[in-house]
Amino acid sequence: MITLQIFQKVSDYEWEIPPTFRSGMRVPVRIFATRRLLEKALQDASIEQAVNVATLPGLVGRVLVMPDMHQGYGFPIGGVAATRYPEGVISPGGIGYDINCGVRLLSSAIPYEAVEPYLDTLVAALDHHCPSGVGTHGAIRLSDKELDQACRLGSRWALKQGMASEQDLEFTEENGCIEGAAPEKVSARAKERGREQLGTLGAGNHFLEVEVVDQIFDAEAANAMGLFEGCLVLSIHCGSRGFGHQICSDYVQEFQGAVRRYGIQLPDRELVCAPLDSPEGQAYLGAMRAAANYAFLNRQILAHHARQAFEEVLSGKVKNWHLRQVYDIAHNIGKIETHEVDGKQVKVCVHRKGATRAFGPGSPAIPAAYRPIGQPVLVPGSMGTASWVLVGTETSMRISFGSSCHGAGRVMSRNEAKRQVRGEHLRKELEADGIHLRAGSLSGLAEEAPQAYKDVDAVVETVSGAGIARKVARLRPVAVVKG
């Protein structure tokens, strides 16, 4: 049983479980949390899951857990684990079902006061142009051959179709396309689910949110990103839809046999994995990259449609209604990267599940415009609460594999939220707070109620206090399209 007494306090924002805590642990577990957030984390199985993750073959450094942690499938959401490449393992559960669920932020020079009279029309137009809901289909219909091509090209596919700019691609993680995608390793069922879902928001915690830059903490970084106090921005939170979910389901099932074939002992069958250099590991890596590229493309198409909505509503009414891409980041992904571990440069597969890449200043992997300040880290709130823009730091490169938190993190299950919150009541509360709202369903709205999540400000205070991200700007929601 895990209690507060087993943790070694590293700082006010860091706690550690040594590998001697349990037989089979290969590395320590480092939790980024205040004491209050740590106490809350002990109410579910997230830290127990992190200890289980610490038994995986090939791990290097530490298993890390971010302050927005909560229980997930096998791995905690908010978890980061790096395995040596190529002989370490890769685990579908360590990346998650919504492969490359992520966030895109677009900025503008539109003052809130100028657009306030049109917000209700704007949110209706966003809802019209960006279909939402469970199983929703979009306007794009692809053959299998076209879908394979889209999965190889990612956001570059949208560029060819006139739905992206070179600047959009430059300001997207991996330029919107991870090399090595293998759509031939994707099942027919996954392709069937994904063929008609590009350009759709889906449901769950996915949303489009119009926000106002409420407070700026780092003027240099905010200026580099085109964030101006009092002006609008747009956040898009979405992933790889049924396509990525099916790929994860397929490989979780496939890897049940792989762990037996490779003699891997696991404390939890949800941790199924395979060596990265095995045929099974390589197949999943290729399929996962196909889903990641699908997600980059999906958010690009949603951004294109959102721009159409802004033009339709605001052209001729406000000056310079254009949206500029700030950045697009992945939350659930496995990336081959090189990091310093025990003084040596080591090539690893970093599993980030509900965690954001947060590379520090000077990294060649981020756009030249951001190298003086560090990579943007986008932390969405929960409809009625703030969102944050941070940047990665030199410390994140040293102690967290260049990673930070990804959101507020749930404290209540979706079923519990539906028991405690009435969707209609919540809708009225949000509207009374001046938030214009469109929601696919009232029960879906209740699932994602702000009270079902942690205090995002406390989460951001923790990663800032630990030094693995730096505050740039706080955003306040004024219009939400909820999937």
Binding positions for Mn(2+) are 98, 206, 237, 331
Bridge-based pairing state of the strands 324-330 and 332-341: unpaired
Closest CA to 230 of 377, 381, 106, 114: 114
Three-state DSSP at 471 gives strand
- CB contact at 8 A, 191 and 147: yes
Cα distance between residue 284 and residue 264, in whole Å: 17
Catalytic residue among 70, 129, 245, 406: 406
Cα distance between residue 237 and residue 132, in whole Å: 12
Three-state DSSP at 79 gives strand
Sequential DSSP letters for 259-302 = HHHTT---SSGGG--EETTSHHHHHHHHHHHHHHHHHHHHHHHH
Cα distance between residue 31 and residue 10, in whole Å: 10
198's CB contacts (< 8 A; 6+ apart) are 138, 140, 142, 150, 294, 297, 298, 301
304 included as an active-site residue:
no
- Angle, helices 279-314 vs 119-129, to 10°: value is 140
Joined tokens for residue 177: 């396309």
- Partners of residue 439 on adjacent β-strands: 482
- CB contact at 8 A, 337 and 350: yes
**How many CA atoms, within 13 angstroms, populate the side-chain half-sphere of residue 42?**
13
- CB contact at 8 A, 306 and 163: no
Run of H or E including 166: helix 166-170
**Binding residue ranges:** 98, 205-209, 237, 331-332, 380-383, 387, 406-409, 482
Run of H or E including 153: helix 144-153
Residue carrying the six token digits 């693995």: 468
Closest CA to 116 of 406, 390, 479, 425: 479
Phi, psi of 466 (to 5 degrees): -80, -10
What are the distances in angstroms from CA 73 to CA 37, 53, 91, 252, 353? 21, 11, 11, 11, 10
Cα distance between residue 332 and residue 77, in whole Å: 9
Q: For the chain, what's the residue count?
A: 483
Joined tokens for residue 306: 């959102």
**Binding residue ranges for GMP:** 205-209, 331-332, 380-383, 387, 406-409, 482
As annotated, the active-site residues are 406
